[in-house]
Structure 1
Amino acid sequence: MSQHAVALERRIAADLSHHDTARRAACLRQFGGHALSFCTMQPGMSYFDVPGVGYLAYAKYWGMRFALGEPVCAPHLRDAMLDAFLERHPDAVFVQVGKDVVDHLHARHGYHGTQFGSEARIDLAGWSLRGARKQVIRTAINAARLDGIEIREGGFDHDVRRISEAWIRTRRCKNNEIRFLIRPMIVDYREGTRYFYAYRGGEAVGFVFFDPLYRDGHLAGYVPNISRSSANFRQGLWYALMAHAIARFQEEGVPFIELGLTPLQLAAGIEPQESRPLRATLAVIRERMDFLYNFKGLEFAKSRFQGRVEKTYCCHRHALPALAMTAMFRLTRII
């Protein structure tokens, strides 16, 4: 093949990719209400597309397919999308889905639906900083003020990598940024994202990035997807950044924010469709393998905001998907 032919093929592929991205972005702006909807646009994803209906994003790892969240489509077409996807990929694993998806996959396809963690939603209309459990937030705000911290919204700043690399060195999972369940900081598609930075002496020392959530073609809320802060700020700069952003969203009339996944925050009871062996395994990981990830610390931090907690699930074909769970932890770079 000549050089001109190769160049033409690459141009055609780029044009098709741009068309697909634009089509998915339009679908996202219409139906992207799940906490992971925006994450479906991250690099490296594969897609199951149904033109005129929507799409489902998934990642391939160790020969397995992991669907990220729920289909991005009209709610009444969701079950049909799931059925069509499973016709092509009958052993796919679904990560971070709600109870309606669990019930359909269990009844129609015989899947197990095991609680994987929890999500919390803050309805902004009635939220305030009052209350004993929010004392830690108020303390962080006061400490930031005394320390000369200024928080303001801005555009995307590529200098965030410096803060991020310093932050990662203080984490239990030091080798890489977590991916898949959390999108990368630097992505091509950033429409609707919001960036809040904390500055001290003119230098950025922390930030929180928010991704948009949509319902019926309108902005419905935000989810904080990426946050980093200096380890030298002991009172938790994240609390002060979050409180500042929440106040801004309240002024704008934003209905709610999702706090995203709190992994392995598990309810006491076990539902009939859950895998008891997997639930027991996840409980052991939470209690004895906190060195992998600060499960309890994240749960405590998010609980201070007093959001409405709901279960989120992992749907899987086999009762004890040991290989699939290992692959998922590797995919996300937790291990």
Structure 2
Amino acid sequence: MLRCFTPGGCLGFPQADCEVQLNGAATEQPNGKKSDDFNGKAYCRDATPKRDQAKPAAQLPLHKLPPAPHDTLYPDILQHGRGILSLSTLQQGLQHFIVPGVGYIAYTMMRNGPDVFNVLSPLALGDPICDHSKFTVMAQAFLQQHPKAIFMQVSAEFAAVLQSCGLLVNSMGGETVLDLASYSFSGYAKRGLRSAIASAAKGVVVEEVMQAPPMLQAAGKGAAAAAATSGADWEQLASEMKEVDRLWLSRKGKHAGNFWFINRPPVFAPEPGVRKFTARDSSSGRLLGFIFFDAVFEAGQVVGYYANVTRMVPDAHPGVLNLLVSNFMDRVREESQLEAPQKKQSVRRSLRRKLEQQAAAAAAAGQAPTDSSEPAAPTAASSSSSSSSGGVRFLSLGLSPLHQMDDSRFEHSSKIRNIFEAAFERGAAFYPFESLAAAKAKYGAGLHDGRFEDPAVTYQQFYMAHSCRGAAGAVAMFDVAKTELV
């Protein structure tokens, strides 16, 4: 028998009223198909197998219910949104598996195989939004409801929990994280980045736009909080952004514009927790590019940002996006009262000096020196404690899909590994895997054997967990695009 993990029933509705609420929300479409209208958004039932359509609404699985209102999810994100995908769990098309008093898992039902079979597989996004000590509780509850679930872009910590639940775990690439307290664009290996930023800055104006209220204020108010800040006319700006978005995606592979799930689609309006920066030509006022930075939360505070949505017109200076990142880092350092790192003559010399200092300190303490081949490097979690006691401490450039995968930690599927490697090497027409990885590697002065040369930049592995012993699980990586948003 299906359980409802939401307080008072499904999304706050009493359990006895589930059927009434769902049937009351159903509307007839012009094509004769049914949809559920919830908070002004329609979610089509067309993909539902006929065996489910014939059941009473009270007996339908949880993926048939409408998504949870955003303002009810904000408190969990504020406290436990440590992962870069926490705000991506709010995107249209996702459902939310809620365990009261613990947290939630965002997921969608994806077609896994030819459409004619009408088979749906649950596909979960990232780590659960909950305290890390509750990962096992969330995993077991979700797998009890969806035993064939696939988990995408999960951390090593949650992957270990899923492996203990009997799932296989495959690497799907790594996330590039910059430590704001120590990261610098100086050094010989980053001369190309510095030159691109300096050249792009000539005649370009960077500004923050579409500012939304802090998430703490938005909690309990939802979209009304963002609407309350509409002191300016954003329609023209939104129209310009949409055109830049169209031009950018037209050059990024056959299916790049269809992806959503891991790549959260841009929202051209104010969003709590999201900061939006634009670059314009100072003479013509033309919009050249923009980046949306998603906040990362811990214990009610912003501890980092994720450069989630990056767009640029094809004929703009190639350094425009680098300029936006550099300006954003300077702005955040100023707000968090972090001093900019001193200039370094080279990354190699800085790393050598750091290792020498570690060896001298260890010798003074009578300890063995640190192995020079494994220097300590900050991570998104460790940088939160190493940089300062408060404020924003890191900037994530996001996942480099299928790049420098490391499957040594977990039991994995070799067939899926082979498919991923082939897709990275020969899948440019599908998605720009190699070019995306190369662009992010420049920030770390080069990535070698899973470690950046710059010690202020780390490469953290992320994983896909699944129960497929064959190659079928790899379909999830590429069939997400087939899940159409209404």
| TM-score normalised by the chain length of structure 1 | 0.90
Letter in 2 for 1:211: D
Indicate the SS of the match to 2:443: coil
Indicate the SS of the match to 2:92: coil
Instruction: Output one character per residue of 1:82-104: Cα deviation in whole Å (capped at 9) or x when no partner.
Output: 11110100110000011111111
Indicate the SS of the match to 1:158: helix
| Percent identity over paired residues | 29
State the superposition RMSD in angstroms: 2.6
Q: Which residue among 81, 84, 90 is the counterpart of 2:141? A: 84
Letter in 2 for 1:262: S
| Matched residue count | 326
Map residues 245-256 of structure 1 onto 2, 5 A cutoff.
245-253=328-336, 254-256=392-394
| Bigger Rg over Cα | 2
Moved more, 307-316 or 269-278: 269-278
| 1:150 and 2:193 matched | no
Q: Which protein has the bigger strand share?
A: 1
- Residue aligning to 1:242: 325
- Residue aligning to 1:120: 176
2:169/2:410 contact within 8 Å kept: no
Q: Distance in 1 between matches of 2:437 and 2:249?
A: 19
- Residue aligning to 2:418: 280
Instruction: Output one character per residue of 1:315-335: Cα deviation in whole Å (capped at 9) or x when no partner.
Output: 01012242x43244121369x
Q: Which residue among 72, 77, 90 is the counterpart of 1:23? A: 72
Moved more, 131-140 or 60-69: 131-140
1:137/1:243 contact within 8 Å kept: no
Q: Which residue among 35, 38, 48 is the counterpart of 2:87? A: 38
Question: Is there any run of 5+ residues in structure 1 with no aligned partner, and where?
Answer: none
Indicate the SS of the match to 2:295: strand
Instruction: Output one character per residue of 1:82-137: Cα deviation in whole Å (capped at 9) or x when no partner.
Output: 11110100110000011111111112x21111100101211101111112232222
| 1:264 and 2:402 matched | yes
Q: How far apart are 1:268 and its partner, in Å?
A: 5.8
Q: Which has the higher contact order (CA 8 A, sep 6+)?
A: 1
Moved more, 187-196 or 228-237: 187-196
Q: Distance in 2 between matches of 1:117 and 1:275?
A: 15
Taking a change above 3 Å as real, the CA distance of residues 257 and 333 of structure 1, as seen in their structure-2 partners, is farther
Q: How far apart are 1:310 and its partner, in Å?
A: 0.9
Q: Distance in 2 between matches of 1:214 and 1:309?
A: 20
Q: How far apart are 1:189 and its partner, in Å?
A: 7.8
Letter in 1 for 2:441: S
Q: Which residue among 183, 191, 195 is the counterpart of 2:272? A: 191
Question: Is there any run of 5+ residues in structure 2 with no aligned partner, and where?
Answer: 1-19, 27-36, 41-64, 112-119, 212-236, 337-391, 445-456
| 1:222 and 2:305 matched | yes
Indicate the SS of the match to 2:257: coil
| TM-score normalised by the chain length of structure 2 | 0.63
- Residue aligning to 2:154: 97
Indicate the SS of the match to 2:421: helix
1:181/1:332 contact within 8 Å kept: no
